[in-house]
Structure 1
Amino acid sequence: MVVRRGSRCGGARVVTSLLTTGDAERAARFGFIISKQVGNAVIRNTVRRRLKAVCAQLLSEIPQGTDVVIRALPASATASFSELRADVERCVRRLSPPVTA
């Protein structure tokens, strides 16, 4: 549902979809789509672990009740952690409304 209905931002290594559900009681949720085109199981798991670490760092910037889905593109297999973080941060900041405390 997030990929179909949410806002989308694409980069060279990832495509980020974001959907605000309006449920301010629920923490932000993250999902990952990493197909076999990215690489073998070892590479896919490495990419997934890096994306999870990036999302953990960005959690404070995502409003409550927001669902985020990150789809890794084949170029993410050779990307460094900082390159993945830059792509995801740019898209999240572009798509998400400002957090109100």
Structure 2
Amino acid sequence: MPGFVLLVRKREDDDPTMRVGITITKKVGNAVVRNRMKRRFRALAAELLPSHGFAGADHILIGRNGGIERDFALLRDELGAALRKLAR
């Protein structure tokens, strides 16, 4: 099971801007853990969304319990695979 859930919603406002939302619930951990996870997700989004994201869409990353222990390279691979799957 990946360390996150990715939701992508196409906006109907003719604005090509990609937007990113990140949410981590308190079930994942305390504030330190949640903020660390958000920083990791922001880095992933900055790296992958410009080339693999969808223009004019909202990308929402929802953190899961296993996400904080996962290796960053594994998270990158999982996000890339999720974006490729959505592109089909």
User: TM-score under structure 2 normalisation?
Assistant: 0.85
Q: Distance in 2 between matches of 1:84 and 1:56?
A: 13
Provide the residue aligned with 1:48 in structure 2: 38
Query: Scaled by the length of structure 1, what TM-score is found?
Result: 0.76
Matched, 1:32 2:22: yes
Gaps of 5+ in 2: none
* 2:81 aligned residue: 90
In structure 2, distance between residues paired with 1:23 and 1:50 = 29
Aligned CA RMSD, in angstroms, stands at 1.6
Preserved contact between residue 25 and residue 65 of structure 1 (Cα < 8 Å): yes
Give the deviation of 1:63 after TM superposition: 2.6
- Candidates 54, 57, 82, aligned match of 1:63: 54
Structure 1 counterpart of 2:39, which letter?
R
| Aligned partners of 1:30 and 1:67 also within 8 Å | yes
Q: In 2, Cα distance between the equivalents of 1:69 and 1:96?
A: 16
Query: May I ask how many residue pairs the two structures share in their alignment?
Result: 87
Aligned residues with identical type, % of pairs: 30
Whole-Å separation in 2 of the counterparts to 1:66 and 1:51 = 17
Residue 47 of structure 1: how far off its partner (Å): 0.8
Q: For CA contacts below 8 A with separation 6 or more, give which structure has more relative contact order.
A: 2
